[in-house]
Every structure is written in C-alpha cells, then in structure tokens.
Amino acid sequence: MGLNQAQYSFDSPELSNLVKKDLITPRDEKTVYVQARKCKCNSVWCESYGCLKPWIERTTTDLRDFDWKRTRQIVLTTDPGQFHQDGEQVYDYVKDHKSLSQLIRNLERGKKVKIGKKWIQKYRPVKITKSMWFLEWHKNGFPHWHVFIETEEYGRFSQIGADVIRHYWPWGRVGESYFESQEHWDLLTGHFQKNGYFNKDKKHQTRLPAWALDRPGLKIRRSCHSRRGEGNGKGTIEQEPDLDEGLLIDRLTGEILEPGSMTYRERLALCGTRTSLKIYLAVFV
C-alpha cells in the first residue's frame, strides 16, 4: 500500500468534488489521512515569525560565516532632496541601475587618476572575499541598506574609508564601522536572529511603505549574498531569492493565485486567514 498526496483548501472546488464523487466517505476513514495547517504567505516582508523564520535562519547562518575581524559594516542612505521626496523613485533607481552590485565592483577595482603623464592610484582596490546586503526602511518610505563586506585584510587594514564609499554612492549619507570583538559581532547577529533587523527598537524599518504595499506585481528583495566560484564573475552579487513565495487560493472561487497577481497589501492580509489540507489517500498495490 502506498500514499498519494494532494493539497486543498477547506472550501476549494477540488475538495468538494472528491466528496461528491465518493472518493472521501466515512468508510474510508482508515485509509484517508488529513493534515491541516494555517496558510502562510511566505513573504519575507510578513510580520509573522512563522513566515520569517526560514529567511532569518538562513541569513543568520550566512552572516555568521563572515570573519568579524575582517568585516566592515556600511550603511547607505539616500537623500530625499535628490529624488523629489519620493522613496519609490529611489528604490526604482537603485534597482534599475544595479547600484549595490556596482558599488561592490567599483570598490574591488579601485580608481586611478591621471596627473600629468602618470596614473596615480587614488583609491586602492579592496580585496573583497564576500559581501551581503540588507534592505530596511525609514518612516518616510525611503530605503536604506546595511552592507557587510569581508576583506582579505585584518583590523584597520580592512578599512575602506568613507570618502571612497561616498565617491561611489553619491545619493546620500554613508557610514562605515567595524567590530571590536567576537562579543560585539555575536551581539549584532544574535539580535538579528531574534528580530530580523539590526538596530534596537527599529521594527518599523522592516515594514514596507505604503507605495510598496499597493503596487501590483512588485517583488522587493530583502537581502542578497555574494557567492564566489559559481560562474558569476568577480565582484558580482548573486541574485539568490529571499524565499519562495507560496501559492494562495482565492477565498471566493478556490482558484489558485500566482504571487505576482497580488499586491503586497493583499498578500500579507491573507496570511494566516486560510487553512490548507494535505490529504493522503491510501492506494493498494
């Protein structure tokens, strides 16, 4: 005997049809197994810890793979005055121009300037071994990023320099910091593992702004990790998905909805309001 697995919503047409066709009846009670659970939106922007847990665990593991003695944290902000006070315009600009990937590549290349007949190294190349960024939000709907960069060099020799970063990120303020000890590093990663964000009492920075909640088909990456040796070339950031967003079932029709057909507001509002069934039917062979 083997088991076939199917998954249905309580009020879906598929489940009703099984009952009507006598495929599920009282006499089958010994050979039909049902597993029920609350549906999840599986979005990394959901406030439900059940949805966030896989992303938090994976990204915490990635972060803890960094060597704190060779790691710098960079915070990149954006100036509202440069973008007509429009956070959506900032996000679209950074995404369309691949500004974060470009920043990493430029840091690795360094910069030379010609003085007379000689080329002088203005900014030395940064030997980056891995990098990772996280997107968070200000209350005014503007994005900012936490970028972690591990270099080949230790201590003060791993310093990049605010002037260098500002040259490649002219759209707002930048900040660079280092980690003083293993305890300092564990404090940051531990706080992230518990909360999913970095700064104390800044939970609002994990909430999507109104413009993002109501834009149909929008998918916003919350984090990204660089990967070496996978054919992407030096300095590129692999576009690894945050988390697969599961399918949802329309509450009225039972129709399966693709994630891209909904706004974030609609998707997040549905999280936990439905129950899915996994039905195991016994098959005698």
pLDDT in tens, 178-237: 999 999 999 999 999 998 888 777 788 899 999 999 998 899 999 999 864 333 434 444
pLDDT for residue 10 is more than 80: no
Tell me the one-letter amino acid at 42: N
Q: Is the predicted pLDDT of residue 5 greater than 60, yes or no? A: no
- Calculate the alpha carbon distances from 268 to 38, 48, 58, 221 in Å: 14, 9, 21, 16
Please give the residue that has the higher pLDDT: either 39 or 193: 193
- To the nearest whole percent, how much of the chain has pLDDT over 70? 71
Does the pLDDT value for residue 69 go beyond 80? Answer: yes
User: Is the CB of residue 89 less than 8 Å from the CB of residue 83?
Assistant: yes
Confidence of residue 1 (pLDDT cuts 50, 70, 90): very low
pLDDT value, residue 90: 94
Burial bucket for residue 218 (CB in 10 Å: 0-12, 13-18, 19+): middle
Which pLDDT belongs to residue 217? 84
Of 190 and 245, the structure prediction assigns the larger pLDDT to: 190
Q: 182-195 and 49-64 are packed helices; what angle lies between their axes, rounded to 10 degrees?
A: 160
Residues contacting 90, CB < 8 A, separation 6+: 78, 83, 142, 143, 171
CATH classification of 69-200+211-225 is 1.10.3470, yes or no?
no
pTM of the model: 0.76
Please determine, for residue 160, whether its predicted confidence score (pLDDT) is greater than 50.
yes
What's CA 28's distance to the chain center, in Å? 44
What pLDDT is stored for residue 228 in this prediction?
43
Q: What is the pLDDT of residues 83-107, one digit of tens each?
A: 888 999 999 999 999 999 999 999 9
Strand partners, 71: 150
When pLDDT is cut at 50, 70 and 90, the band that residue 254 belongs to is low
Q: What percent of the chain has pLDDT over 90?
A: 46
Q: Give first-to-last CA distance, the chain, whole Å.
A: 5
What number of other Cβ atoms are within 10 A of residue 19's Cβ? 10
Q: Given a cut of 60, is residue 17 above it in pLDDT?
A: no
Q: Which of 14-28, 50-64, 169-183 has the lowest mean pLDDT?
A: 14-28
Reduced DSSP (H G I as helix, E B as strand, rest coil) percent helix, strand, coil of the chain, to 5: 35, 25, 40
Torsions phi, psi for 105 (to 5 deg): -60, -40
Q: What is the pLDDT of residues 107-150, one digit of tens each?
A: 999 998 888 888 888 999 999 999 999 999 999 999 999 999 99
Q: Which residue did the predictor score with more confidence, 5 or 229? A: 5
User: E-strand spans in 78-151?
Assistant: 111-115, 118-123, 128-137, 143-151
Instruction: Work out the pLDDT band at 170, boundaries 50, 70, 90.
Output: very high
What is the predicted pLDDT for the residue at 33? 67
At 259 the pLDDT is 59
The rounded Cα 231 to chain-centroid distance in angstroms is 22
Residue 244 has pLDDT above 90, yes or no: no
Q: CA neighbours within 13 Å on the CB side: how many for 140? A: 14
